[in-house]
Structure 1
Amino acid sequence: MFSRLRKGWPLAAVLLFCFTPSAFAQRVPAKDKAAADVLVQRMAAAEQRYRDALVLAANGDPKGTTESNEALEDMEDVVDACVKQRGCPMSDLLATWKRLLKAEVDVAGEELDEDPGEDELLEADTALAADIPEAARTARLVGDDNRHAFDRMVQFNPAVQAGIRRWLTDMRPALMTSYENYQAMRHLMWPEFERQGLPEALLFGIMAKESNGRVHAVSRAGAAGPMQFMPATGRRFGLGPDDTGFDSRYDPRSAAMASAAYLNERLRQLNNDMELSLAGYNGGEGRALRVHRASGGTGFWNASVYDQFPAETRDYVPMVIAAAWIYLHPRQYGVTFPKVDAHPAQFKLTRPASIYELTICLGNQGSHNGYMRTLRNLNPRYEADAWIPAGTTLNATTRIAGLYHRHCSGGARADLARALVTADVNMALVRDTPYGNVAVGNVTPLPGAPRAAAAPAAKPKVRSYKVAQGDTLGRIAQRHGCDVKTLARANGLKAPAYSVRQGQQLQLEGCRM
């Protein structure tokens, strides 16, 4: 994005600056001086535009790329004009160039203001004041208008430090995966938290701990989606099967909206105690409220409160805070998050394909792990092995869309990917021909001989399917090529929920696959 900065200015400009310094000291006509001043002003404006673009890029705004490139082009035009303009102070222009070379470049997705001192850890408030009402809390967060509001909402203590240690050691791969997954979905999820006055770091921390940013994650208890909603809790906040059978707990935007609403409900109920609200998110809102009332409002880190939560919740709360803290302070811990091309885009399938097939033909240029997870997260309605009809528009990033048109809309790699995803292990088996069989030609009936009555056509056998953990009727129908309503009617399932349970045997009536 900023590669032109490293290529240097045109050689003529550098030579002019290095070998003819006396030219600038000569008397310059007023007309030439005015023209030179205009160029200096243009250079200053382009520099400011470039720096503004860095801020946009750091905030994940795709306009940052366009703005920075255009600003660099303006600078190049100014230098070219300065070479030709008598009296133009090339030294001033090259000083601008030198400042930009010293600046942090290629900072899309990184923090511009992240240069904390060692004492910063000690400056975070121990907790948000217990008596601040919800409206004041939200106003405070919005009024602050910075990324570090979360620091003042939680305690930074040894339990959180231990969580940071875990994220940065054996769980570092999970942290990096969570970051990459989140960046691709950020434009869908973060606005929902922002609208409800909640910090982005909190969203990242919960998502990293709950699902590592995998929208199809399902827990043993039945919690599902990137924010891991249980079915009943999800229904309270508008999540669950729609009229097609798709469970919106898997939709990133819907899940983030519900999560933000749920957290604000907990904060109102628990006197704005963030740790207790997180405990309620994981360990049950009823338990959190009972403990809060019984303790007279004592905070989560008080032993009498802490000990009333199960071990899973006692681990969950500091781990969420730790992930959020690293997200806000990566440089302090030597963390360099991966660069992610997260500019949203769409592409239309020119021929039927599955996400598996697309993953193969896209390759992994620009991504260590390839693009299957990004495609699945941005298109949660489709199973990875389900065939998606031609003409369907899929959500993606600009890089994925470009790779699709280059490699997947047709050609050798697309054909190879199709061959790989349709390969059948049974076709590799060589079966011996049984001994004693005699091959005969076509039988010709003799004139006048009675013909045997044709056997009635066998009725197609209806296959069955055993419901697995995390299945919904919509996902089963998609996987086997069924009409949801026909499948529901054949198995006595009632709209709109079409609820199925793990282990249930379904008759796949009218299914194509």
Structure 2
Amino acid sequence: MPVPVLLARGWPLLALASLISFAPEAHAQRVSARDKAKIEVLQQRMTAAEKRYADALVLVTNADPKGKNEGDAALEDMEDVISDCVAQKGCQVSNLLVTYKRLLKNNADTRDSDDSDVIANDGGLLEADPDHVGPLAADVPEAARAAALLNDKRHAFDNMVEYNPAVQAGIRRWLTDMRPALMNTYENYQTLRAVMWPEWEKRGLPEALLFGIMAKESNGRVHASSRAGAAGLMQFMPATGRRFGLGPDGTGFDTRFDARSAAEASASYLNERMRELNNNVELSLAGYNGGEGRAGRVYRQNVGQSFWVDNVYNQFPAETKDYVPMVIAAAWIYLHPQQYGVDFPKVSAQPATIRLAKSTTIYELTICLGSTGTRDGYMRALRNLNPRYEADGWIPAGTIINATTRIAGLYNRYCVSGPRADLARTLITADLNAAIVRPTAASYTGNVAVGSVVPMAGVQSSTPVPTAPAAPVAVPAAKAKPKAVKSHKVGKGETLGRIADKFDCDVRELARANGLKAPAYALRQGQSIKLQGCGK
């Protein structure tokens, strides 16, 4: 009986060795006696975890079902030690990784040649990609990433589905015409991952499958809707949504557009399909897309048959025949990006909140935030994280909105006050109608005044002859008293936008009256400016 290789399933030997070779050494530093004592405790914990893992291997060899759980628990202990070492002054992670090297050697020595857990359907070894690090643990030190990956269970999905020509054709489409959609989905998902993935994880479903469904259904756009009435990231129809707690919440908001609620409902719905369809992923996806009634009927008529068997496959509509392999293909790329030359973008998506310093709109925030660290700016992230607000709807000052740490930093720097904040407000309040010039009657020239028509001797009455116009009667006009223009002395930290808000002025007219040039509208403290065009 082959000995299961607990360690190697999570991370193949070559890839792990690569990570270990790049594990950062601690910088030379003075280490106190207290820190040395803490480091010694960490070493003792690692030794104990190694022994626990070795004992688990013995149990596995003896076909004891407790062995697998004990092995996983031992690896988790090691991961905790690595994490604590990264945070501990003077602790050299490379010293602890020696334990992993020993475990790898032990697993290699006991590996059976018939171990089929790492063999793909095409007969080749599945390549485990170093960039698996990205989706799981962005911004984590390299050694800690290695520790987390050793117990990576995401590749259970590889054995849950068939990697066949239909899936390969789907991968081809995602990597060619649909590559932009795949990349957009990845960026959108990373922003939402903190609220969505936990709902799937606690229900035992693969993260790759969540990504695949989202890629096919909505490209990660929270407000996606179809002509058939499906809505949200996971495209729930109204009736199905109601079954799983989604729909209008009484405030005018449809919770199908809420990322956390949609993740929870979709995981529950998919698990319901999996229970009915003997955990067959393809049939469950077919039910998700083509109707649970049809999927259940086809399954009962063909018990034990794969989705790809012709008498099963051909009972589903064309849309479902396309949907199933495309979802699996997107999920497969998510798990094996390097294998297909995919370099997913690094997304700074640590969750944060912002208390708005002044009323604003998502459009205005998108302008003042700029696009630092992202190609397309932050509008989609803001909309996805705050689905209750329309892009052009005003959000009151003091409101707490969802964001990321990067967005929060940019907001405090550029959106509270300053030239970019003023420019964003100018652009967001710009009125197209204000650009249209409507000339007054006095501005017209070249008109000929025509007097009354009188008949003249020898001239037919049908031919009118104009007479000289009567001289206008001069009426003395009352002299209009010019309205006095107030002035204002610029205080510390004041900007043109703040002054315009304070005195109810038009920013552009105020700038023209004082010779200030856009977009900076630069002012200096103590400067006196004319309050031209102001209401107060």
What is the identity, as a one-letter code, of the residue corresponding to 2:414?
H
**CA shift for structure 1 position 122:** 4.3
Task: Report the CA distance between 1:323 and its aligned residue.
Answer: 0.7
Structure 2 CA distance for partners of 1:376 and 1:441, relative to 1, 3 Å: farther
**Residue equivalent to 2:182:** 175
Between 1:385-394 and 1:323-332, the stretch displaced more is: 323-332
Structure 1 residue 423, shift from structure 2 partner: 1.0
Residue correspondences, number: 354
Q: Are the counterparts in 1 of residues 85 and 93 from structure 2 also a CA contact under 8 Å? A: no
Name the residue aligned to 1:461. Answer: none
Counterpart Cα distance in 1 of 2:81 and 2:378: 24
- Structure 2 residue 262 is matched with structure 1 residue 255: yes
Cα distance in 1 between the residues matched to 2:93 and 2:304: 61
- Structure 1 match to 2:286: 279
Are residues 225 and 411 of structure 1, via their aligned partners in 2, closer, same or farther at CA, if it must alter by over 3 Å?
same
Compute the displacement of 1:38 (Å).
4.7
Note if contact 2:283-2:295 (Cα within 8 Å) is conserved in structure 1: yes
Query: Structure 1 pair 372/306, CA: closer, same or farther in 2 (3 Å)?
Result: same
Task: Tell me the amino acid that sits aligned with residue 389 of structure 1.
Answer: P
Does residue 266 (structure 1) correspond to residue 276 (structure 2)? The answer is no
Instruction: Quote the residue 2:507 is aligned against.
Output: none
The correspondence for 1:193, drawn from 195, 200, 212, is 200
The code of the aligned residue for 2:202 comes to R
What amino acid is aligned across from residue 405 of structure 1 in structure 2? N
Q: Residues 280 and 98 (structure 1 numbering): CA distance in 2 closer, same or farther, change over 3 Å?
A: closer
Equivalent positions of 1:355-504 (< 5 A) are: 355-434=362-441
One-letter code aligned to 2:352: A
Q: Percentage identity across aligned positions?
A: 64
Report deviation, 1:385: 0.6
Matched with 1:17 is none
Against the structure 1 CA distance between its residues 386 and 66, is the aligned structure 2 distance closer, same or farther, given a 3 Å change threshold? farther
RMSD of the TM alignment (CA)? 4.0
Q: Which has the larger radius of gyration?
A: 2
TM-score norm. by structure 2 comes to 0.59
* Amino acid paired to 2:371: N
Specify the SS of the correspondent of 2:188: helix
CA distance in 2, matches of 1:293, 1:263: 18
Structure 2: runs of 5+ lacking an equivalent = 1-22, 47-75, 99-116, 125-150, 445-471, 479-536
Q: 2:351 aligns with which of 330, 344, 348?
A: 344
Deviation at 1:416, TM superposition (A): 0.7
The alignment partner of 1:375 has SS state of: helix
Quick one: structure 1 residues 123 and 389, their matched pair in 2 at CA, closer, same or farther if it must change by over 3 Å? Answer: farther
Unaligned segments of structure 1, at least 5 residues:
14-33, 49-58, 79-92, 100-116, 125-143, 443-513
How far apart in 2 are the matches of 1:64 and 1:349? 40
Cα distance in 2 between the residues matched to 1:96 and 1:38: 14
Could you tell me which residue of structure 1 aligns to residue 211 of structure 2?
Answer: 204
1:194-213 deviation line (CA, Å, top 9, x unaligned): 12111111111101111111
Query: 1:189-338 residue pairs with structure 2 within 5 A?
Result: 189-338=196-345
Structure 1 residue 174 displacement after superposition: 1.1
Write the letter of the residue equivalent to 2:196.
M
Deviation at 1:297, TM superposition (A): 4.5
Q: SS at the partner of 1:226?
A: coil
Q: How far apart are the structure 1 equivalents of 2:39 and 2:336?
A: 37
- Give, in whole Å, the separation in 1 of the partners of 2:341 and 2:206: 23
Deviation at 1:65, TM superposition (A): 13
Structure 2: distance between partners of 1:291 and 1:435: 81
How far apart, in 1, do the equivalents of 2:292 and 2:424 lie?
47
